[in-house]
Structure 1
Amino acid sequence: MGRDGEIERILRCVTREPGTPQTLLLLGEEGIGRTTVLRHVRERAAGDGVLVLFAQGWAEDPGHAHACLRQLLTPPVRGEPAALPAAHHRVLTAVPRGNDGPDEAEFHAAVTALLDRLAAARPVLVCVDDADLCDRAFLEALFAAARLLAGRSLTVLLAARHEAALPGPPPGTETLRLGPLSGAAAAALLDRQPAAPTGRHRLEILADAEGNPLALVELGRGAPGPAGVVRHPPAEHVFGVRLDALPAETRRALLYAAAAGPGETVAAVMAALGTGDLVVWAPAEAAGLVTLVEDRLVFRHPLARSAAYLRRPAGERRQAHRDLAKIAVLPEARARHLAAITVGTNAFVATLLEDSAWRRGDAVAAAHALEQAARLSPRRPERARRLAEALTAAHVAGDPGWVRELYGRLGQESADPELVCVAAGALASALSQESAQREAFEVLADVSEHFPVADRTLALALAGLAAGIAYQSGLPEHTAALSTLLDRARQAHESKRWRPAAAGPLVRLDTPHLRRALDALVTAVARPQSATGSRPGPGRPHGAPPIGADGPAARAVLAAVAHHADEADVDLGQSRTADDRLRTARAFGLRGWSVLVLVDALVAIGRFPEAETVIQDAMTEAAVLRLPRVQADLEAQALTVRALRGTLPVTPRLTPAVWRAVCLDENRATHARLLRARGLAALAHGDMEGAWRQLRELFTADGAPLHPYLSARSIAELTVTAQRTGRSAEALPILERVRAEQGERPSTRMTLLLHHATALVGPDDGAEEHFQLALVNHGANRWPWERGHVRLNYAIWLRRCRRTLEARQQLTTVLETAERLGAGALASAAHIELRASGAAPAPEDGGPLERLTAQQRQIVQLAARGLSNREIGERLFLSPRTVGSHLYNVYPKLGISSRHQLRDLVQGR
């Protein structure tokens, strides 16, 4: 799993594609999946008619070349040596005795002759696993054959842990290093295990395994089952043997290092040990178990850390935590070690855990600490309150399984109205991100009767969450119910019993300004036309938020209000800041709401490279946390960006499996994003009929919008396809309904879109006026792609009116805009229209850099000079992520894959 790139690379070498090496080394640490990749490659190659020969090194082999060679000589090639000259046959079939093995030159010649004969008939793949344990003479013979048979269909693939143990490979050998699995692949592998863990234990295993497949499997087997009982202790494999061979003082030192955790310094661990002699680590380093890196001690393998801790008796483990607690400087570290040695309840330790839970600003760590604090609380009221805080933090972290576990426990502990509201909010948010909008909204509607006796900020936050769910569902009954929920929230009082500090620094909604913003958000979803009018107040927040409103959740609320008001600048500024902080805090439970608003804003204003970077990062988190609805939205946004950038494959995958896992009837925002993405993909491929079918579904048969907000934003794209397919009369009533629903004072963006759409399907004698009205408002510059789309269609209209000079002027501006934004589809359409207008063809390409935008060329030049992404960003006033995104998208255009190649390209230009 997660090795498609490596496997395809190897198979291209097996088929001897031009430019591929003949010899490959596959390197990786123990348990990283070398053997699995080799097995898969062998099966794929054999299925394609390749002759596969396989051998595996073994440390106990007697140490002669024939130990591995005999593994290669299996049916159907066992009889092949007999067809070789007698000297070669004798060397290949002889059984060496003692040191009477064959001469090195004879052995090399015999192996070369055998592989030459086999490769003459069909392609041959020689796979050797654990090559670092093979006899050196055998490997040298293979490498000699590869050098001498460079023209044959022969590929040699060797897998090993360490390259240093191998003889020098032939020139041109490529090294593939298997790194850890990606977060999504690691989560998928863990979830495939029998009785896979859930909730907190699942997240802990994913963190502890560090993407190592063997560690994922073994730690998953050792996770507690439903009753809290360990089903099977993790296998320790060779690590237990290596540990047992170490001196007692080294084993004790490793126990303390494992108990301290990956962030602790060597000095702190040694202080707990009561020694200052670094020699204690030397045997573990020699055994390949740990590495000292500056002031940190790093376990070479996750299972080595697990074995170092679990192989010691419980008493020794408790003593280690006791000693580490004594020297701990950070409150959270002291609380964690004290909790590890506490049996039963302990009010003092529970208070320490609660007070230090959010010191690291990490949602996952905070939820874990608060859950432990609840477990150690002797009194029921404190236990219930801390469970509520743990539940809120788990919701902020974004794991639905963890939320459900804590929700069930809190329900057994307390029926306090405020805690019931807290629990309902966490559960509803998790349900919504999984895709169950009806159930999520029903949960909030059921507890809204408690709003008047709950804290006002909490009640407003839950009403805001209900608005988010209603926006996502797009269901009229949800929108209609929002007014009731808001009225109940407004009746709530100022409570001091529970405050939204449960989410620590991430949630700060308890200010009058933010309460007004929450109120405005609910109103905007309940009555969409009220959000777009040009009126002051919370609907159009300006500038930085006031003091006390700088938490990422608060910023996300302000961004959502600005999103509904089509205030792109405010929307982008608030949501980008919120997204950065939530990503750092591992708070995808909140980020899953805000990141979609951020991506919508980035796409709307044409920042496609940054949008792709954000989408890919968020998709990994959504996959790890198993949030199919959020995945589906992100997949739709990714398809939209690829369509606008012109980077779609010839046959794009328009229905990823995750979309089929979401009920689109109760997720109309997802459905609308999906339909627009498919429509734009069809447009990019010139399929006007297909584009019309997709975009037409954004509105019902009678013209009502599928989604009250997102459908209207695609009205211009719908009318483009209507005009091109001769369906203007069918599109006009839809346009009129959208115009009516936008009210008398639509936003600047909607004004642009409505004029654009009217110019396309309205009366011919008013087309030019509407095109010009769409372009004349300078405020529309905030949506450069949409404005460029207007200019393109205006130019097409001008050309058809035989006003070619004016058309070319518009198209030139379109082309400049498209190249600046990286909007490949718009640029391609402008080029086509320029040629149709009789414009001279573009001059010959002056080199690969000439295909880049001015900003991309600046970034490339600075990167080629050795500047880091951060240094480039400081010079060009860009974020390091944006610089990285530009480089990620530039490399394929230049036909390179690294900064080293970039420097050579620029210097040789």
Structure 2
Amino acid sequence: MRSVTGLNDEQLYAGFIRAGRLRADPPLLEREEQQAELGRAVVALGEGRPAVVSVTGRPGFGHNALLRWAGRLAEERSVRVLRVSGSLAERDLRYGAVTQLLGQLGEVAERSLQDLRREQEPACLPGLPELLHTARRTPTLVTVEDAQWLDPASVQWLQALVRRLANGVPLVLIVGRTGLYPYGPDWLADATPSARLFRRLTVQPLSPRAVAALTERICGTPCDEAFAAAATEAAHGSPAVLNAALRCFADAGHRPAADRVPQLHTLINGIVGDRAGRALRGLTDEATAVLRALAVGGDLLDFPLICSLAGLRTVRESRLRASLEMAGFTVPEGTHERLRMPIVRARILEDTPAAERAALYARAAHLAYQIVADDEDIARLLLEAPPIGEPWAVHALRGGYGAALRRGDFARAATYLHRALDEPQDPLERAHLGLDLAGAEAVSAPEAGDRRLMTLVQAPDEGEPWAQLRVRALDMGLARGDDAWGRRAAAHALATAHGSERDELIALYWYAAESAPETCDLPAPGFPTLPEHPLAPAQAGVRAWQLAARGRHRARVAELARRALDAGNAAPALPRLAAVRALWATDAATEAEDRLATVIAELRRRHSHPVLARALALSAELHLRGGRLDAADRAADAAERALPLAAWHPLAASHLIAVRSTIAQEDRRCDEARALARTPLPPGAEYGVYWPYLLYARARVAMEEGHWAESAELFKESGRWLLRRQWANPIVLPWRSMAARACLTLGDQEQAQRLIREELTLARQWGAPSALGLAQLGAESVDQQEPADGTTTRLLGELPTRLAYAWVLADLVTEEVTKGQRASAARLLSELSRLSVTRTSGRLAERVRWLSAQLDQPAAPDDEALPEGWSALSPAERQTAELARRGLGNREIAEQLMVSRRTVEHRLSNTYKKLRITSRKELRARSRSTERDVTDAV
């Protein structure tokens, strides 16, 4: 587009820049188009042509700065400039803007000005003839800043001025305003007699490119793209906000880089908040009331309901919406109005008196309830409201609690129930709320949850519903893992209990006592004992596990476990979990896992997170023992979602850590397995019932790394802790056979045989095929007997301990390969390969592939001619030495045996000592010597 001077926009603006007539303070970035248009209007004014220009934009976008720029340009061209500014303070002052303008005309308008100042009724359009008369002699530019705040009389006066410009009066009127206008969006355009005279300009937010230029100008150094993008987004592209924030930012010595964005955000929020605070002080009572209502319920209620919430009945909604938008407080969104920035909402709420704010939240919640909003939306409003005293309030808060639980926000869920307790309600209903609250607090504030549960356990005996509540509270508290807390709580409640509640409390007490690390922690004589043949389901579940852990009366264990589980949710959850574990130990694994799935489903419905987490951890353990690693991993993840590890009591956390470590190890995530096994726990954690499980996991990690002495000691220490509780059954943890394997590797044949024979004796006493088969296979490996027939192997591969069994079998195959017994190794490998666990455990699958590769290789001529003294080596040493004898390097041996290079070096060092040689060369030389002896004999 060509200007009246024949120059296009860019040329005109560039000419002004070269002439040095434009000031750079404050900078007008990305306003070249608007500046060029205003420049053309000023140039045309010098030639006697009038114009009307409207400059609109959001507050802080620089529309007033453009008017001031145009005024300076006009002054430099000897044009008279009259400046007028609307303001919040004068918006109700009749002819306020006209008074400002006439004051600049001098004597010619003195009479009209005096009439206005004396608040007399002025003549029609006071001072307008005088302005037009002087403008004919002196070309005049009139700028009106913040025209959105003009009073109606001044607007009518300006419209009259615009209508008279058609007569060729050399006057340009430039009006700056924010957004919409309450007296009609096009009042300026409608008054313009000719479309040629009117120009509409809109200022847009700054782009990241312009923000980068502004940053460089203020900070003196370029900024990166991330900083510019973040600054643009935080300030919504407002030049005024960015200019102020960046100057403070530079004064503080910060550099404009991405890592300093948080500091810039803080500055921008403060500036926006201050601007909002100043603007709030100038609003009308109506606008203030609506803004406060928007700050409370604007995210949920449409604008008509917001007006109702604000107590406005006759207000013109369109005018009010326009006023709030042009003030920069809100942006339209369909039938809603949204506050522009969170800091604006915060400042509005801070400015609202506390009593009025609480009342607004209460009314907003009631309106939200009437329009059938989501429960959590209503609950969020109720958090800030005083007690409502109506049933729907508790219902909404409970609904919000459920929604927060489903997304894992336990702290928010607890907050909703805290607020629900403020509502008037029946004592029993309040107690049930407290129980649910304790379940959420078990995650967000465990100690507070324990205290709340103790209060519920100590509630007075007022009938059957209260008895069930006390038992559930004790069950949930015990699930966190603090057995001392459980024994105290159960003993206190038992003093006033009777009937079925008494039976369940006794069961829970003995469940906690079973976790006690020493016999001195058991009760004094006279405390109710657990019957040998209990009829109560809860007692049957605890007794079943007692017998199973001790390895006695397998048939009775199965009967007691089923009695506990048949009771369903009539029995507490923890005794049923004990029954599941006991039933699984009898080799009824499928039935036990099906029963456990039922318990888990019930606990999910009850939102009993501590107990649910324990059930899921047990599920993960059983899946792991059965070799179903994917299912075990999912169950462990679910357990940690139900109760994050940090919320577990240290006495119980060892269980989940141990399970996760073993899963990671089987999945070949060795670093993760090691980190989990070595997770630091607070002092006293070693007295927990699951501490032996963590020791066992640490021993497995040490064995994997080739630290055989450490692993042997950890396995035996795990066993010592189990024996303190009289848990002798090898089905709990087969620590003896694992320690025996480590001892055998270390050359301690005698201790290895003692451990495995003890395990075999205990397994026979228990009688479960899984425990017995595992012990027998371990005994064959330790005693170096001929391996068992494959029929037994196939049977045991389907029993609960198939993962442990598969590993013992894999070690036995490895031993046979090392000894050169290829026929028996091939037969056992065939049986091992049939087991499904060899396809689910990545670590085990690697071993099977390696063994298959070894057997696929043709037999070496010297496989049956082993060096002298070979029998003195442990199986692991023989295995390593054999690979070294065949010419493999340490790294290759480590990869094939899936151990560290350090372990290979340690084994070869022991081999050299026992064979009384010093190097691999001597090992091969002795092998060749043996070969020649064999040849000569033949």
Give TM-score, length-normalised by structure 2: 0.51
Instruction: Sort the Cα spacing of 1:649 and 1:578 in 2 relative to 1 into closer, same or farther, 3 A.
Output: same
Structure 1 residue 158 and structure 2 residue 180: aligned? no
Structure 1 residue 638 and structure 2 residue 682: aligned? no
Task: Calculate the aligned-residue CA RMSD, in Å.
Answer: 6.0
CA distance in 1, matches of 2:515, 2:332: 49
Residue 786 of structure 1 corresponds to which residue in structure 2? 804
Instruction: Sort the Cα spacing of 1:817 and 1:133 in 2 relative to 1 into closer, same or farther, 3 A.
Output: farther
Give the conservation status (yes or no) of the 8 Å contact 1:599–1:615.
yes
Structure 1 residue 136 and structure 2 residue 212: aligned? yes
Query: Residues 757-815 of structure 1, C-alpha deviation per residue, up to 9 Å, x if partnerless?
Result: 32233x444x524x757515257355442332233133234335643033134335545
Structure 1 residue 681 and structure 2 residue 701: aligned? yes
Aligned partner letter, 2:813: A
Shift of 1:738: 4.2
Residue 857 of structure 2 corresponds to which residue in structure 1? 839
2:735 counterpart (708, 711, 714): 714
CA distance in 2, matches of 1:376, 1:343: 5
Aligned partner letter, 2:700: L
Give the conservation status (yes or no) of the 8 Å contact 2:633–2:663.
yes
CA distance in 2, matches of 1:360, 1:834: 53
Residue 370 of structure 2 corresponds to which residue in structure 1? 326
Residue 610 of structure 1 corresponds to which residue in structure 2? 631
Residue 394 of structure 1 corresponds to which residue in structure 2? 438
CA distance in 2, matches of 1:657, 1:131: 49
1:383 counterpart (427, 433, 446): 427
SS in 1 for 2:226: strand
Aligned partner letter, 2:743: A
Aligned partner letter, 1:135: V
CA distance in 2, matches of 1:295, 1:748: 72
Instruction: Sort the Cα spacing of 1:565 and 1:698 in 2 relative to 1 into closer, same or farther, 3 A.
Output: same
CA distance in 2, matches of 1:390, 1:838: 66
Query: How do 1:545-556 and structure 2 match up within 5 A?
Result: 556=577
Query: How do 1:214-253 and structure 2 match up within 5 A?
Result: 249=290, 252-253=293-294
SS in 2 for 1:610: helix
Give the conservation status (yes or no) of the 8 Å contact 2:797–2:805.
no
Query: How do 1:476-875 and structure 2 match up within 5 A?
Result: 476=519, 487=530, 516=537, 519-525=540-546, 528-529=549-550, 533-534=554-555, 538-539=559-560, 541=562, 556=577, 559-576=580-597, 578-579=599-600, 587-619=608-640, 621-623=643-645, 625=647, 627-649=649-671, 652-653=674-675, 656-659=678-681, 661-669=682-690, 671-700=691-720, 707-708=727-728, 712-741=733-762, 744-761=765-782, 763-765=783-785, 767-769=786-788, 775-777=793-795, 780-799=798-817, 802-811=820-829, 814=832, 817=835, 821-837=839-855, 839=857
Instruction: Sort the Cα spacing of 1:135 and 1:253 in 2 relative to 1 into closer, same or farther, 3 A.
Output: closer
SS in 1 for 2:857: coil
CA distance in 2, matches of 1:796, 1:780: 22
2:491 counterpart (445, 459, 464): 445
**Unaligned runs of at least 5 residues, structure 2:** 1-24, 31-68, 70-205, 235-260, 281-286, 860-938
CA distance in 2, matches of 1:575, 1:299: 51
Aligned partner letter, 1:686: G
Aligned partner letter, 1:676: Y
Residue 38 of structure 1 corresponds to which residue in structure 2? none
Shift of 1:642: 1.9
SS in 1 for 2:670: coil
Query: How do 1:884-899 and structure 2 match up within 5 A?
Result: none
Shift of 1:663: 1.5
Max radius of gyration: which structure? 2
Instruction: Sort the Cα spacing of 1:725 and 1:277 in 2 relative to 1 into closer, same or farther, 3 A.
Output: farther
Query: Residues 49-79 of structure 1, C-alpha deviation per residue, up to 9 Å, x if partnerless?
Result: xxxxxxxxxxx995789xxxxxxxxxxxxxx
Instruction: Sort the Cα spacing of 1:370 and 1:573 in 2 relative to 1 into closer, same or farther, 3 A.
Output: same
Query: Residues 647-668 of structure 1, C-alpha deviation per residue, up to 9 Å, x if partnerless?
Result: 2039933664542x15144214
Aligned partner letter, 1:607: R
Instruction: Sort the Cα spacing of 1:677 and 1:475 in 2 relative to 1 into closer, same or farther, 3 A.
Output: same
Instruction: Sort the Cα spacing of 1:376 and 1:163 in 2 relative to 1 into closer, same or farther, 3 A.
Output: closer
SS in 2 for 1:158: helix
CA distance in 1, matches of 2:509, 2:573: 19
Residue 406 of structure 1 corresponds to which residue in structure 2? 452
Query: Residues 406-452 of structure 1, C-alpha deviation per residue, up to 9 Å, x if partnerless?
Result: 3576699857698699568746854763x54334333323433334x
Instruction: Sort the Cα spacing of 1:427 and 1:581 in 2 relative to 1 into closer, same or farther, 3 A.
Output: closer
Give the conservation status (yes or no) of the 8 Å contact 1:631–1:658.
no
Identify which of structures 1 and 2 has the higher relative contact order when contacts are C-alpha pairs closer than 8 Å and 6+ apart.
1
CA distance in 1, matches of 2:570, 2:627: 28
Query: Residues 665-723 of structure 1, C-alpha deviation per residue, up to 9 Å, x if partnerless?
Result: 42141x21111111111222233223212112122399777855675433432332232
SS in 1 for 2:671: coil
Residue 256 of structure 1 corresponds to which residue in structure 2? 297
Query: Residues 264-316 of structure 1, C-alpha deviation per residue, up to 9 Å, x if partnerless?
Result: 99999999899999997998999899998x99999999888877766642232
Aligned partner letter, 2:296: L
Counting matched residue pairs gives 605
**Unaligned runs of at least 5 residues, structure 1:** 1-59, 66-97, 99-129, 147-154, 167-212, 219-234, 492-511, 842-909
CA distance in 2, matches of 1:703, 1:463: 24
Give TM-score, length-normalised by structure 1: 0.52
Shift of 1:594: 1.1
CA distance in 1, matches of 2:850, 2:450: 55
Aligned partner letter, 1:401: E
Structure 1 residue 314 and structure 2 residue 336: aligned? no
SS in 1 for 2:776: helix
Instruction: Sort the Cα spacing of 1:657 and 1:707 in 2 relative to 1 into closer, same or farther, 3 A.
Output: same
SS in 2 for 1:649: helix
